[in-house]
Structure 1
């Protein structure tokens, strides 16, 4: 493995030096490396720009691979990496904060900013995941939540400070672009020092494979070893983020490539993982540069995500093969029931009244405030012409789009959570939202002159295709809840990577690109309303009618089958309805998450686990939540607007954190 890795690395490094916008011959590369001439432009290009970029890829790939290997050893979780533990997202968030508020300090102490963010995110994931009692699924879901929250805050900061953050969008997708040797000079000492520290401690690290009692009987302080290994892993990951941005999946793929050969001793695992991590990252950057003449500069991080997603799918299938799918899915997070103190009908009346009140208040607020009487007159066709135009032509279609999309996402989340027996499943987790965004943006790029009415068609096709990949991958495992969630996360990551590539390819400015990715109700018209309303009128009653079957999915697969339920068929049917609802909602309002997480869980707390009751309350809550997010996004920083998807994420983050903390004790 070591020899093969070094040979592959030598070949890829050489090939990478030939790739770029300017054509450079193989002979020129050899001459530039062996006998450089200061007056030859090609030699200066290779040694001044391409060689630093390649060396940076070697260092970053090695650092990320070692970080992933250490995280997997410490957590005993084959899915642990700098990506799944949220380290990349946390480090990136704090670096963006430093870019906006303390640019001078960030320039001098960028590593400290990145380490603070990465360590904080990893600690949050570890605590939310259950600490030492965590399972691979819990850790992965906790990392997904932290990543989504950090990403939402980062996007909001970038949109509100577009001028100061305009240049970091490409870097934020993970880019190895280097204009000189400064990045390498800053990075190499940290990476080499981290590798040396780990290699000197390999005997202690090997003890992580044993139980704590066994390690203690051998005279080892297992807590100290874990803290040391995790500290080095976070440091190595954050060093790379501070220079080249968040690059994912290297720490997931490289150690597993090595472990597949049977090498588990850290004395071999660490150096060989470093070599193969460098191979993967330099190879991804070489692929990206091969298309630079046709598509422009592409981020290496997006390429690694596209490569790493199939790897995560394979790992998910492999993990599910080793564990019982029913117990693994149920252990992620338990579904909670209602308290029963307040009757169900009271909650229906209360939430309906709240929905009406929030919607009317939304119609009243804006650049020109209206009274309740003016709004009611406009809705009934009377009153002042200006007020009527504001309400009927601008505010009402936007409000209805937000409310109906919120209902669609809430019902979709209810179906998915019941289907996979996990209240942290929603359209974003199973890849539907990113798939819909991918389909819509692909259509806009392939057919630039396509009418706006065709964009939802592309979104629906993309969402259905993403869900098809997820369900097809999990089919042979009996549509295992564990596999559905993990494969969905992989598909979501790949979809997001493609969307980033499309944004860069289309040369969209930062604000419109982030608004689309974050989800926005800005400028929505009656066309979106007439797309959402018929879909809800048709699919919502079907979802309600399936209530008894969906209720049986809360039991184990064996119990449900024993009661006469076709588990696969029911999961497939509920999934199809959920996918259609989420895809059309994404087509109308973009990539909005958290509504499908928050509303269903809150409704179960109010009404219990009865599907029909919780679905109705969930729909009402979804309409309230997204309409409220839309109103806050319009008014908090007026005249600037914050996309409603970001507001929803910020509203939902504290609740989801409490949910994970609460469920870890059950």
Structure 2
């Protein structure tokens, strides 16, 4: 049972809504007046008609439409979040977490690249794509009653999948990268007064539908059986609620871009203040959402940043602490999913599977060396090594280090995923979904863009600082909850959203080559040389003894915390060491290949499917599978659209995300 399902309106003392609503409304009004006052003052004190006309144009065509756009977009995000949470009875449901905003990003790019859809490039196309993403996340999570952790991870997987789709499309339409990067950073719409009125027409249908949905959605908090007993058609009400919430999100994203956290934070802040009735919750969530977005935009303007870009960054900077406060207070937490079962008897034989995977890895590596725009027969390899074929030697010197780097990075990410899933005690965890790779990637990207001639030691240092700092904050925030799965995952999500906003800010503000930066953020091996492989290999070799030493304690941890502690295991110390090792492996890999998606999440599951559950067996199998996956993605990305190249990280996401979502759709049994 989730948190919202357990809350009964009759068991909660009513909170006077005016006591909560009036201060919120006053705050929003003050923020709006603060944004408009400088322009109004300039208009009333203009020394001449020319200055007055300029101030009048600035007020009525630019500043006032911008303020109204911020209020409308924030209100729409807040209402959408409240509706999604009511439909699913889940306090973590929100447009960001269900992948709706990621789907809208795909809709924006489709509108930019397909001329026939140019007339539908606004809210209609964003609505269709966002609805598809929400449907996929809900289906994969297990439907309306999905626990918070499963819904969170399903939405994160959908977002990664759609990001990979975006990357493949951008590889084909490179001219649209800069515009999409700017829009993805969050930009309040600047259509002028007439354009704002036209855009607002798309807000009317969901607003008209809201009064007819509130009674049914309010009844869902009592449970499906009770709602059916009082005459509520549960499935139609839920479907209509998702449609309405997605329409609100499409309108908000069209006005402001994919600005995160507003749809999650606003309803939970209102609920934390004691408001439970859905009508008041929706209204106050709209006010809080509008106030948050407008305040963030005002802070950006007051500090002199480029407002179109940094509104999302400011919102994330405000939203992340609020989200973490709710996590620490336990406002968003509910009983976690059933965790991974204890290690069972091994079905497969490591002595058979490991050599077979090793042979497959060698064969795939040899195939990758030969296959490409220029086919290299094995006979030419011998000639090249003997110094008689310069062309073949050059091609091998380019392809060889890419395969070596892909193999080493794949092994490191796979080992990181195995350790993380065991330490967090949830088989749906991974470095991609806990914010570790995003923190390492952001720190590395800042270094690459700030110091173009940065060396590998400095790159590793930045990646480790970013990944370990993220991990340290996660440990610090969740130490009192003994690193329980749901708060750890939610904390990682909060940092991921913050890092994503900061990343787009860095790209647009400092990069003269946004294509290079965005493609690096997806992850890949393009341009890697032998020194990169040599620099990465020691990190893997040093970690092998530590992984071997942790195997037995991690097996004991699968028995449960109490049982493991009863056997003499220091659970807190084991988790800290395991998380530190996992973060080190993932961060070092990110420093060279970028944040490859789903390698650390997918390969531990594949090892289980083969039949390995004990960590001493599962670790080597998962690492070999990680190398196979990354090498295969590198080869396919190199030759599929030659001479254009698809980053390997996009292909690992395209391969891993559908499998991950299918795995979740099988139910809890399939995730253990």
Shift of 1:273: 1.3
Equivalent residue in structure 1 for 2:320, among 309, 319, 323: 309
Task: Note if 1:510 corresponds to 2:514.
Answer: yes
Deviations 1:78-101 (A, max 9, x none): 111111111111122133223212
Cα 1:452/1:48, change in 2 over 3 Å: farther
Equivalent residue in structure 1 for 2:399, among 391, 395, 400: 395
The answer on whether the counterparts of 1:159 and 1:510 sit within 8 Å (CA) in structure 2 is: no
Deviations 1:24-83 (A, max 9, x none): 666115679xx9989622321232222212211111111110010111111111111111
Task: Note if 1:2 corresponds to 2:13.
Answer: no
Match of 1:21 in 2: none
Cα 1:488/1:108, change in 2 over 3 Å: closer
- Distance in 2, Cα, partners of 1:89 & 1:336: 37
Shift of 1:286: 1.8
Shift of 1:419: 1.1
- Distance in 2, Cα, partners of 1:450 & 1:521: 18
Deviations 1:436-489 (A, max 9, x none): 112112334555664454222111111111111111111111121222222112
Cα 1:339/1:127, change in 2 over 3 Å: farther
Shift of 1:323: 4.2
Q: Any gaps of 5 or more consecutive residues in structure 2?
A: 1-19
The answer on whether the counterparts of 1:176 and 1:299 sit within 8 Å (CA) in structure 2 is: no
Match of 2:637 in 1: 633
- Distance in 1, Cα, partners of 2:191 & 2:528: 43
Equivalent residue in structure 2 for 1:117, among 118, 129, 140: 129
Is the partner of 2:309 in helix, strand or coil? coil
Cα 1:665/1:530, change in 2 over 3 Å: closer
Cα 1:338/1:490, change in 2 over 3 Å: farther
Is the partner of 2:275 in helix, strand or coil? coil
Cα 1:298/1:398, change in 2 over 3 Å: same
Cα 1:457/1:226, change in 2 over 3 Å: same
Task: Provide the alpha-carbon RMSD of the alignment.
Answer: 2.5
> What is the TM-score normalised by the length of structure 1?
0.92
**What does residue range 40-79 of structure 1 map to in structure 2 within 5 Å?**
40-79=53-92
Shift of 1:404: 0.6
The answer on whether the counterparts of 1:106 and 1:113 sit within 8 Å (CA) in structure 2 is: no
The answer on whether the counterparts of 1:288 and 1:298 sit within 8 Å (CA) in structure 2 is: no
Shift of 1:549: 0.5
The answer on whether the counterparts of 1:336 and 1:604 sit within 8 Å (CA) in structure 2 is: no
Task: Note if 1:271 corresponds to 2:283.
Answer: yes
Match of 2:33 in 1: 14
- Distance in 2, Cα, partners of 1:320 & 1:7: 25
Match of 2:5 in 1: none
Task: Note if 1:494 corresponds to 2:508.
Answer: no
Cα 1:366/1:2, change in 2 over 3 Å: same
Match of 1:427 in 2: 431
- Distance in 1, Cα, partners of 2:462 & 2:547: 24
Equivalent residue in structure 1 for 2:371, among 358, 365, 385: 365
Match of 1:344 in 2: 350
Task: Note if 1:204 corresponds to 2:216.
Answer: yes
Match of 1:580 in 2: 584
Match of 1:605 in 2: 609
Task: Note if 1:89 corresponds to 2:78.
Answer: no
Deviations 1:215-258 (A, max 9, x none): 22222223332222222111111122234322221111111221
Deviations 1:636-664 (A, max 9, x none): 11111111110111111221122111234
Q: Any gaps of 5 or more consecutive residues in structure 1?
A: 19-23
Cα 1:330/1:608, change in 2 over 3 Å: same
Task: Note if 1:151 corresponds to 2:163.
Answer: yes
- Distance in 1, Cα, partners of 2:399 & 2:180: 34
Match of 2:175 in 1: 163
Cα 1:141/1:338, change in 2 over 3 Å: farther
Cα 1:98/1:189, change in 2 over 3 Å: closer
> What is the TM-score normalised by the length of structure 2?
0.91
Shift of 1:12: 1.6
- Distance in 2, Cα, partners of 1:566 & 1:452: 36
Shift of 1:556: 1.8
The answer on whether the counterparts of 1:68 and 1:80 sit within 8 Å (CA) in structure 2 is: yes
Equivalent residue in structure 1 for 2:535, among 531, 534, 537: 531
